Structure 1
């Protein structure tokens, strides 16, 4: 019998929290977001889970990554509507 998950996976929970911080302005446009190391420490997740969060944030247009500098909150014009990811 297949196992039915009652909670969203960890990466979705972390994605939702970071997305909320961005959308409410707690992390303002242009500001650097927490690094992968910081995400794993803050949320107690594996680095692979953190990478999935970062990828989802990029794909939803919430962040942009600059090689060698980090990831930053993107302009709201690039954001997908809430709940799209």
Structure 2
């Protein structure tokens, strides 16, 4: 699942500063546990691909030049 989200960010499906699907939405889309989807979100944050605004959601980070 992380590879799919990473690809969506890279190919522009999720452009910079746009919201990415929530943990619940990802769990539903991929048919996985919410805990697993949370780990994917955390990994993408650790990679610097997304950031989270408390109360607002997670967003694609600006691409590095």
Considering only aligned residues, what root-mean-square deviation do their CA atoms show, in Å?
1.2
Q: Size of the alignment, in residue pairs?
A: 65
Superposed counterparts of 1:4-83, under 5 Å: 14-77=1-64
Q: TM-score normalized by structure 1?
A: 0.74
| Structure 1 stretches of 4+ moved >2 Å | none
Structure 1: where are the runs of 5+ without partners?
Answer: 1-13, 78-85
Q: TM-score normalized by structure 2?
A: 0.96
Structure 2: where are the runs of 5+ without partners?
Answer: none
For 1:46 and 1:37, how far apart are their aligned partners in 2?
9
Secondary structure at 2:48's aligned position in 1?
coil
